[in-house]
Amino acid sequence: MEEVARAARISRPGLYFLFSAKETLFRAAVAQALDRDITAVEHVLADTGRPLLERLVEAFDQWAGRYIGPLTSDVAVVIEDNPDLLGEIIETPRRRFEELVTDAIAMESGREVASPVAQTMISASIGLKHQVASREVYLERLNVAVDLLLR
């Protein structure tokens, strides 16, 4: 907490005034990061002047790709290992991400195929996150998966 206070340029008592416990600070940090990620995904998918494949791969990169690699894997592990601590903080953005991907696919392929394709893309992304060591490899393989699913 001392390091967080120093980075925020406030006193440790000031930090505890704002966040009564480490868990409260953790939830606030995760909520802020997920909100930022969803906003980026919304922006990427709204750019309908670009091909759907490009938009989807970039959306997945904003949502998951930037959390792959040696410096970021701890963040994903902490989030995945603490579902009870995060609850709706994590579930609401996950549902929103699926909705955004589904809506983007539906615009080109129709609503009836969009949901299973979106769910399969999300499953592929989750699997890739656990198989690759770098963001670059994740994006290469995700690009193949998305391309196959859009055919």
- Answer whether residue 120 is part of any domain: yes
- pLDDT tens-digit series, residues 103-148: 999 999 999 999 999 999 999 999 998 899 999 999 999 999 999 9
pTM: 0.84
> What is d(CA 25, CA 15) in angstroms, rounded to the nearest whole number?
9
What domain range is 128 assigned to? 33-150
Tokens of 52: 């759907």
Domain count, the chain: 1
- Answer whether residue 89 is part of any domain: yes
> What is d(CA 135, CA 122) in angstroms, rounded to the nearest whole number?
16
- Answer whether residue 80 is part of any domain: yes
- Answer whether residue 25 is part of any domain: no
Closest CA to 145 of 131, 90, 49, 42: 131
- Answer whether residue 18 is part of any domain: no
- pLDDT tens-digit series, residues 38-87: 999 999 999 999 999 999 999 999 999 988 876 555 566 676 777 777 77
